[in-house]
């Protein structure tokens, strides 16, 4: 017996409707904002993520599924969706075409993490990328799209926003951060000591309790924003107010990824504890150029579909039940089953969900099975029905039966 790899999950046939529901709502919301879907490969050249995600990030240093293919090339399973989308945007010349380009993706993502609730090694993301616009309204639109999705899914989550400025303001801020953390170096975790040297901003992102305590008193990036970044952030906030989206400012949000500039945001659910961030994103004006494209600004986010589902389940959000068969056509014997088969084919051709017996069950057992499937009607064909060319259609909800000729079956069940 071979088991499923640690940190991965099957989506079983009886549960997949939940996924389809969340994905369907995501697609609907993306459509409202006029986004088109992009699909990129599940694996890419490792270098794409090293450069695109950043080689000081946890993702690149610890979490990537990297392997050599048979041609001795280093490949990596995508740990997130943005790098591939940007690669494709550049490679297909979209960066020199008409802007903005607004796209979304639904993709598996792979990270070698310690599996726990809401933290898997294969998970799924719905993500959005808005390429080409630097305006604060575009940031607000990305946030609004995420907010609409979460509201449509019935989630009660909190939005936290921050600005981490541009390379100019960050230089001054990094200096201030280093001065602040220097006396605490001994108390910081191992990773934070490296962060201190390589990317002080990331110190604020640490999840260790000891580091978090120290972080609480760190200087705020918001006091270091240059005039342009400050104005941009003010405009983002005012757009959110225009749209009636509530938010809180959290100067501790820096995001794990290297390519973020200015606006960063997270939607957090209080109902699932440590893994409460269901959606996160921000602006990354430097990434497209970093990956070899023109200097083009961008903003986006990704939502973890598993985490959305966990929160929905924990807060009792009702997911619409999947469709059930309209009719189950039962057959008494071989000849009757042939008729049931023929009728079911005709019904399906016209769009009626029809089911028949596949297991040579008795009529009684077929009835029981049809009930278990939730079929709205059960029609039984016996020898006399076959002879007469008509059958009784029993409505399972009311228990009432009506005579339906084989000829009229499609007409009868259409729209039931």
Q: Which residue's CB atom is positioned nearest to ligand ATP? A: 304
* Residue whose CB is less far from ligand ATP, 116 or 345: 116
Is 193 buried (19+), middle (13-18) or exposed (0-12) by CB count in 10 A?
middle
- Cα gap 158→297, rounded to integer Å: 26
Nearest distance, CB of residue 106 and ligand ATP, angstroms: 12
Nearest distance, CB of residue 302 and ligand ATP, angstroms: 4
* Residue whose CB is less far from ligand ATP, 80 or 141: 80
Q: If we measure between CA atoms, which residue out of 42, 53, 41, 101 comes closest to residue 290? A: 53
* Residue whose CB is less far from ligand ATP, 282 or 331: 282
* Residue whose CB is less far from ligand ATP, 126 or 181: 126
Neighbours of 212 (CB within 10 A): 12
Q: What is the Cα gyration radius of the chain?
A: 28
Q: If we measure between CA atoms, which residue out of 287, 12, 61 comes closest to residue 167? A: 287
* Residue whose CB is less far from ligand ATP, 50 or 125: 125
Interface residues with ligand ATP (CB under 6 A)? Answer: 80, 111, 113, 118-120, 123, 125, 256, 275, 277-280, 302-304, 306-307
Is 113 buried (19+), middle (13-18) or exposed (0-12) by CB count in 10 A?
middle
Nearest distance, CB of residue 30 and ligand ATP, angstroms: 17
* Residue whose CB is less far from ligand ATP, 199 or 401: 199
* Residue whose CB is less far from ligand ATP, 229 or 280: 280
Residue 100, preceding peptide bond in cis (omega within 30° of 0): yes
Can you name the residues that pair with 277 across neighbouring β-strands?
Answer: 268
Q: If we measure between CA atoms, which residue out of 152, 126, 100, 169 comes closest to residue 306? A: 126
Nearest distance, CB of residue 286 and ligand ATP, angstroms: 17
Nearest distance, CB of residue 279 and ligand ATP, angstroms: 6
Q: What is the DSSP string of 375-412?
A: -SEEEEE-HHHHHHTEEEEEETTT--EEEEETTTHHHH
* Residue whose CB is less far from ligand ATP, 123 or 233: 123
Confirm if 253 and 265 have CB atoms less than 8 A apart: yes
- Cα gap 208→220, rounded to integer Å: 19
Nearest distance, CB of residue 404 and ligand ATP, angstroms: 49
Nearest distance, CB of residue 145 and ligand ATP, angstroms: 15
Q: If we measure between CA atoms, which residue out of 92, 84, 98 comes closest to residue 48? A: 84
Nearest distance, CB of residue 87 and ligand ATP, angstroms: 17
């Amino acid at each position: 017996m071979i088991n499923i790899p640690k940190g991965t999950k099957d989506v079983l046939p009886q549960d997949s409707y939940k996924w389809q529901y969340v994905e369907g709502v995501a697609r609907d919301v993306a459509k409202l904002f006029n986004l088109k879907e992009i699909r990129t490969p599940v694996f890419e050249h490792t270098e794409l993520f090293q450069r695109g995600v950043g080689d000081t990030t946890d993702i690149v240093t610890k979490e990537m599924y990297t392997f050599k293919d048979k041609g001795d090339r280093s490949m990596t399973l995508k740990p997130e969706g943005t790098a591939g989308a940007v690669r494709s945007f550049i490679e297909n010349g979209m960066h020199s075409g008409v802007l903005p380009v607004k796209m979304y993706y639904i993709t598996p993502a792979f990270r070698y993490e310690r599996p726990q609730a809401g933290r898997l090694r294969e998970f799924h993301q719905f993500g959005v990328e808005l390429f080409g616009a630097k305006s604060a309204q575009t940031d607000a639109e990305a946030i609004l799209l995420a907010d609409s999705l979460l509201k449509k899914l019935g989630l009660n989550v909190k939005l936290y926003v921050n600005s981490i400025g541009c390379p100019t303001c960050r230089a001054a801020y990094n200096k201030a951060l280093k001065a602040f953390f220097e006396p605490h170096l001994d108390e910081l975790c191992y990773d934070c000591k490296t962060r201190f040297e390589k990317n002080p901003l990331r110190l604020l992102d640490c999840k260790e309790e000891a580091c978090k305590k120290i972080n609480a008193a760190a200087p705020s990036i918001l006091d270091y924003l240059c005039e342009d970044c400050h104005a941009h952030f003010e405009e983002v906030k005012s757009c959110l107010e225009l749209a009636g989206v509530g938010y809180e400012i959290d100067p501790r949000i820096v995001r794990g990824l290297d390519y973020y500039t200015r606006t960063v945001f997270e939607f957090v659910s209080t109902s699932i504890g440590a893994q409460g961030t269901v959606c996160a994103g921000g602006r990354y004006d430097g990434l497209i150029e970093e990956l070899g494209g023109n200097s083009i600004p961008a903003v986006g986010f990704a939502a973890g579909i598993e985490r959305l589902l966990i929160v929905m389940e924990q807060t009792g959000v009702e997911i619409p039940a999947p469709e059930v068969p309209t009719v189950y056509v039962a057959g008494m014997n071989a000849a009757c089953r042939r008729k049931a088969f023929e009728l079911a084919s005709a019904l399906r051709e016209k769009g009626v969900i029809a089911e028949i017996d596949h297991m040579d069950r008795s009529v009684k057992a077929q009835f029981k099975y049809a009930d278990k499937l939730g079929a709205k009607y059960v029609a039984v064909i016996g020898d006399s029905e076959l002879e007469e060319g008509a059958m009784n259609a029993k409505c399972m909800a009311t228990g009432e039966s009506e005579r339906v000729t084989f000829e009229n079956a499609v007409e009868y069940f259409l729209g039931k």
